[in-house]
Each structure stands twice: as C-alpha cells, then as structure tokens.
Amino acid sequence: MKEKETPSRRSFLKNITAATAAMAVAPGLMAAEKRNQAFEILKRGNSVSANNQINIALIGAGGQGAADTDVAVQIPGVKLVAVCDLYDGRLADAKKRWNADIFTTRVYKEILNRPDIDAVIIGTPDHWHQTISIDAMHAGKHVYCEKPMVHSILEGPAIIKAQQETGKVFQVGSQGVSSLGNEKAKELFRSGAIGQLNYAEGFWARRMPLEVWQYPIPADASPKTVDWETYISNTNKRPFDEKRFFRWRNYTDYGTGMAGDLFVHLFSSLHLVTGSYGPEKIYASGGLRFWNDGREVPDVLLGTFDYGQNAMHPAFNLSLRCNFVDGTSGTTYLRLVGSEGAMDITWDKVVLKRNKVFASDDPFYLEKLRKSGDTNPVRKKMMPPEEIVYEAEKGYLGGPYDHMNNFFTAIRNNGKVIEDATFGYRAAAPALLCNDSYYKNSPMFWDPEKMILKKV
Ligand SMILES: NC(=O)c1ccc[n+]([C@@H]2O[C@H](COP(=O)([O-])OP(=O)(O)OC[C@H]3O[C@@H](n4cnc5c(N)ncnc54)[C@H](O)[C@@H]3O)[C@@H](O)[C@H]2O)c1
C-alpha cells in the first residue's frame, strides 16, 4: 500500500478539527443539531468555461437519455443537434422537448455519420450499449454511455479496447461517483475515519408499479411506430411484443435485472470510495415473490461478495439487497463499516458514526492500566462527536450535473473521466455475475484486477 493512501486514524483526527471549524462558521445549523453531532457543509465550485462548442446527439431518448440530455444542455457550450430512437413517439417528444429543428432518425449510424456531432449520449436498453459505444468511438465520437456499461460479462473487453484504440473520451453513467457525497466519503475513508474496513452493505427497496418496471405502454405502440426488427436484431428473434419493448428491464434479452439496474450504482460508489477493483467471489439468491407479470427476473435479490485484500483496502465482505415488494418503498443506502465506525453514503450527504472513547470496567484491563502507572483509570474522558453529518450546501447541482460536467471537461481538456471503460466494466461485472450466480445457483469467481472470469 502506498504510504500516502493508507487510511490513517491520525489524519482523520487531524482533519476532524476542520469539521469543528465548519461548525463555528455555520451557527444557524447548530441549532438543529443533536447532542454529540457535528455538521459540515460540502461545497463545489461550479465554474465551467465554454471555450468551444460541443455538439451532441442522443441515442435512445427514453427516460434516462432525456434526463441526461437535459443536464448536458445546461452545461455552457453544449448543444443538442440530433436524436435517434426506435419509437416514433420519442422522436416527436424530442422535437417538442428541446428544439423542433433537431435532426431525428431511427438509424443510429446516421447520427454517427454526421461530422458536426462531437459526442453521443447512449440511453438505449442495456443490450445495445456495447455495439453503439464501439461504433460511435470508431466513428470519432466521444461517448457517455448509461450504466450498466455492458449487457453480458463477455462484452466489456471490446469497449475497453475501442476506448484505448480510438483515444475517445468514454464515460459510464453511474452519476453518483462524481457527487460531493461520494467524494467526501472517499476522503474520509482514506483518512481512516472508520478504521479498518471489514464490511459494507447496500439496499434498494421499491414497491410502486412504476418503480418496479411496470411502465405505461403508449396507445399507438405497433410495428409501424416501433422499429422492432432493429431492436431485436442483436438478440433472439421474436414477433413484435410491446411489453418487451417498453418494459424491457423485465426480460433477460435486453435488461440486466435488479443487479444490472441498481446494484451497479452501489458497486460504482463502493469502488470509487475504497479504490477497489471488485470482489473475487460472488453469490446471489432471491426469487420472484410478487410481480408475476411475465417477467423473467427476480423481484427479491440478495448478493454476497468477498473482496480480497489489495493495495487500497483490507479484505472485506459486501452484502447487497434489493426488494421490489417492500412496504418501506423508497429506502436506499450504502454503508461502510470499519473497526472504529461506519459511514452512510449518499450523493449529497455522508453520515459518519464513530466509536465512543474506549472505557472498560474489565478488571483485567483496569489492572493493566494500574500496572502501567495510570493511577486514575476510571477518570471520565472527553468524548469525540458520536456522529458527524457532511451535507451538500443548498443549491448543489448534484451528481448528475457533476458527472456530465466531468465528461465535457475531459473532452475540452483532453483529460480523463472519473468512470472510464475499465472502471465501468469493473462495476458492471460483479452485478452481471450476480445474475449468472442466481440463474446457475452457484458462486461465481472473478479476478477483478485482470478482469477475467475464473473457472473453479
Ligand atoms: N444512471 C441512472 O441513474 C439511470 C437511471 C435509469 C436508467 N438508466 C439506464 O439508461 C438506459 C435507458 O433506460 P431508460 O429507463 O431510459 O429506458 P427507456 O425505455 O425509457 O428508454 C430507452 C429508449 O431507447 C430506445 N431504443 C431502444 N433500442 C434502441 C436502439 N437500438 N437505438 C436507438 N434507440 C433505441 C427506446 O425506444 C427508448 O425510447 C438503461 O441502460 C438504464 O440502465 C440509468
């Protein structure tokens, strides 16, 4: 482990004075504070220079593609010029939403052939990410590709190769990794704030039909308005099925289940914070408990993951859970647990809980202290804060903005992104292997550094 990266308790204790200083400049916040709780505001300078215009196109203009594009066009100097989608209704919506003059098409290669387009956002279902990403980079476009980067574990290396060969900027869309919350958690982890990491857990709970992929199907959905043949051209051939098109997450030909949709966000953040490459052993269990709507994927999924020791962290265990039949709908968290504390991490907040000062009534311990010359071992101690809350300042534009801004800054400066193809593959792989483990009813073994599936 490189010395400067070693989580060190001393550096955390030194930095904690900064939190105390922040408390002093934010007295208003202190009124709302609980006893033994400190509070620090996380800030981001959002200055962006638009020194040259970047023309973008969106490929896959559904929910997330549209949300990404709304964020992208807020960034100074970024202009949307074209949109591609396989459903005509999305193309009509795009003209209404952004600009009636944008070029629209069902054929993504028409987008890639346009010399005026510098970068594309890929918001298609998962089974199209790899092909379009590779084609786009070879056509000279920078790529922002939604998560999970790939639909199957076998697809990752070709994207990494295309990125290396073309030198184009390639960012995967797990936007949390660029957030103030993840950034603060990384800093705290490195400073030793929770001591030695031994366990992490993450959870997603959902319940409402729209949350669990029962999306509305447009009244005009038909083989005339949807280019079904192109949609299934890289997977199993089937007759037109509107559910398979508009509720694609429920079917393994197109989606990657709960793990590919949600666990991948938790892997991305966990890897960012800890510097990890990923787990070595993956085991999943679960079942279809409620949503018997024809879906091929479970609605309750549990995954356990063994992370080996490496230069950045000790060995630890991870437990991830996702429940689509959960009455507490809306609950989600990522928690890192160490020998001296734990932290709950979100995109705009980190709650750090620390152990109290060690005080023991163990007679052996007291005797040891007396022998060491401590004549007053039962004297009360000063207590450190039990809980420190780090929260983004009001008006923070959030992880989605930071992540998109990171992409365009890398294009402008010929720089690096936070979530390149290698990072994206290392986050997607354990999620995809979770699905493989579930269907095979067997643990999967992975070499996270070399990114190779291990045979047992
Ligand atoms: N980062 C996040 O927080 C986040 C959130 C939601 C979704 N996503 C990801 O975004 C992607 C899209 O998800 P969504 O919820 O927006 O789905 P969606 O169904 O709302 O949108 C997908 C769009 O892609 C179009 N499409 C399908 N195949 C295409 C092709 N070959 N070429 C062009 N267009 C095509 C569809 O017609 C549809 O309009 C998925 O990979 C998903 O995992 C990421």
- Asked if 94 contacts 58 with a C-beta cutoff of 8 angstroms, the reply is yes
Distance, CA of 375 to CA of 285 (rounded, Å): 55
Token pair, residue 171, equals 């960012």
3-state secondary structure of 314: coil
DSSP, res 119: E
Ligand 1 centroid distance, CA of 291 (Å) = 22
What's the pLDDT score for residue 384?
67
The number of residues making up the chain comes to: 456
Residue 307's DSSP bridge partners are 316
**Is residue 399 in contact with ligand 1, taking CB distance under 6 Å?**
no
**Is residue 84 in contact with ligand 1, taking CB distance under 6 Å?**
yes
| The dihedral formed by the CA atoms of 187, 188, 192 and 194, expressed in degrees to the nearest 10 | -150
Token pair, residue 386, equals 């039990």
List helix spans (H) across 127-263: 129-138, 156-166, 180-190, 228-231, 242-246, 257-258
Residue matched to tokens 């993504």: 108
pTM of the model: 0.90
Distance, CA of 6 to CA of 25 (rounded, Å): 30
Ligand 1 centroid distance, CA of 77 (Å) = 25
Residue 430, number of CB atoms within 10 A of its CB: 31
CATH of 54-176, one of 3.40.50.720, 3.90.180.10, 3.40.1010.10, 3.40.50.970: 3.40.50.720
Q: Per residue of the chain (456 residues), what is the pLDDT tens digit?
A: 333 344 555 566 555 544 443 333 333 333 333 445 688 888 876 545 556 899 999 999 999 999 999 999 999 999 999 999 999 999 999 999 999 999 999 999 999 999 999 999 999 999 999 999 999 999 999 999 999 999 999 999 999 999 999 999 999 999 999 999 999 999 999 999 999 999 999 999 999 999 999 999 999 999 999 999 999 999 999 999 999 999 999 999 999 999 999 999 999 999 999 999 999 999 999 999 999 999 999 999 999 999 999 999 999 999 999 999 998 877 889 999 999 999 999 999 999 999 765 566 677 877 887 788 876 766 667 766 789 999 999 999 999 999 999 999 999 999 999 999 999 999 999 999 999 999 999 999 999 999 999 986
**Is residue 226 in contact with ligand 1, taking CB distance under 6 Å?**
no
Kindly give the number of the ligand 1 atom that is closest to the alpha carbon of 256: 43
Residue matched to tokens 């609950």: 331
**Is residue 247 in contact with ligand 1, taking CB distance under 6 Å?**
no
Instruction: Give, using CA atoms, the residue closest to atom 25 of ligand 1.
Output: 60
Ligand 1 centroid distance, CA of 125 (Å) = 4
What's the pLDDT score for residue 41?
86
- Asked if 358 contacts 382 with a C-beta cutoff of 8 angstroms, the reply is no
3-state secondary structure of 3: helix
Ligand 1 centroid distance, CA of 217 (Å) = 15
Distance, CA of 278 to CA of 276 (rounded, Å): 5
Distance, CA of 3 to CA of 30 (rounded, Å): 36
DSSP, res 345: E
User: Which of 124, 211, 242, when mutated, tests ligand 1's pocket best, judged by the most ligand atoms within 8 Å of its CB?
Assistant: 124
Token pair, residue 101, equals 């003059």
Ligand 1 centroid distance, CA of 271 (Å) = 24
Q: How far is CA 54 from CA 101, 106, 191, 199, 412, in A?
A: 17, 23, 38, 43, 9
Q: List the end-to-end C-alpha distance of the chain, in Å, as a whole number.
A: 29
Kindly give the number of the ligand 1 atom that is closest to the alpha carbon of 173: 1
Question: Cα 310 to the chain's mean position, in Å?
Answer: 22
What's the pLDDT score for residue 248?
98
What's the pLDDT score for residue 5?
40
Distance, CA of 43 to CA of 211 (rounded, Å): 31
Distance, CA of 91 to CA of 100 (rounded, Å): 10
3-state secondary structure of 56: strand
**Is residue 61 in contact with ligand 1, taking CB distance under 6 Å?**
yes
